Amino acid sequence: MPVLTFQNADGSLSEYAFSDAEPVLLRVRENGGARLGIGEGKPQAVITRAKVYQVPLVVNLSGDARVRVNGRRVVTLRVLRQGSRLQIGDLEMTFWEMTLQDVAAGSVLVGKRCPVCRLAYCAGDEVVVCPRCGVPHHKECWFEHEFCSNSGCLYPIRTTLKRLLAARSIVVEQLAANSQLVSQTMRCQAGTPGIDAQPFQAGQYVIYCPNRKCNAAFHLECWVSMGNCPACHKYDVSKLLRSVFTPNTPPYLGEEDAAAEEADA
């Protein structure tokens, strides 16, 4: 589910979660202050999803010059990406389309079942709530599919994941029949039972360890479920994913950590 994060006057952080069924209305007060959601008066802007390409958009309804994305004025509309900085009046927000969250004890999700594995959610499980239809999935179940499992939703999981990881210089590759991994019958180094019993196959999605001294190949679904890379034992995959998909976490560049560890060795 999309989330806007912003800083309160006292310095604390807040989140505003919403769904496609409830576009976010953005209003600027006379004093320059801004507010989200339902309120009096005509909104200056709205966050919605394009019907054709299904991408999230901020639409400037009034032409107000105080509506900006990443510092640039929104004349009519602008596509929002993970981490886009949205400004309206004196309110600055960060847009998160796909977020990773922990199931808290007492959450309404506890006891409900993941639509993919059919296992019940437990406190501490990592879940992703589909930004388009709002259906929650276990993290591993979500990332192993190309589209949302909810019939008719078709949220593009793989396309979005590839784009977000590419921003960190991490490449997700769909193997061709003449790929070296396929022709040399190489195997995923995660060792996941069942999945990794056979060599890489054409059409599978793979990712390479971002530690340049490692560069080990993994199935995408294996990689997102790992802690540290099992090949180099240095690159922290779970920490990277949290920095990409958890609001208000600092950026993570694992290669620097890996290089520091190697220098200390």
- Map out the domains of the chain as residue ranges: 3-96, 98-154, 162-264
Query: Given this model, what pLDDT does residue 50 score?
Result: 82
Q: Which of 7-16, 67-76, 183-192 has the lowest mean pLDDT?
A: 7-16
Taking only the tens place, the pLDDT of each residue in 134-170 is 899 999 899 888 899 998 888 889 888 888 888 888 8
**CATH number of the domain located at residue range(s) 162-264 in this protein:** 3.30.40
**Residue of 149, 106, 104, 100 lying closest to 126 (CA atoms):** 100
How far apart CA 154 and CA 145 sit, in angstroms, is 10
pLDDT at 3 over 70: yes
Concatenating the DSSP letter of every residue in 11-51 gives S-EEEEE--TTSPEEEEE-TTS-EEESS-SS--SEEEEE-T
Cα separation of the two ends of the chain: 42
Q: Are 64 and 76 in contact (CB under 8 A)?
A: no
- Cα–chain center distance at 34: 26
Question: Around Cβ 145, how many Cβ atoms within 10 Å?
Answer: 14
- The arrangement of secondary structure in 3-96, i.e. its CATH architecture, is Sandwich (2.60)
Name the pTM for this structure. Answer: 0.76
How far apart CA 23 and CA 46 sit, in angstroms, is 7
Q: What percent of the chain has pLDDT over 90?
A: 36
φ, ψ of residue 254 in degrees (nearest 5): -65, -25
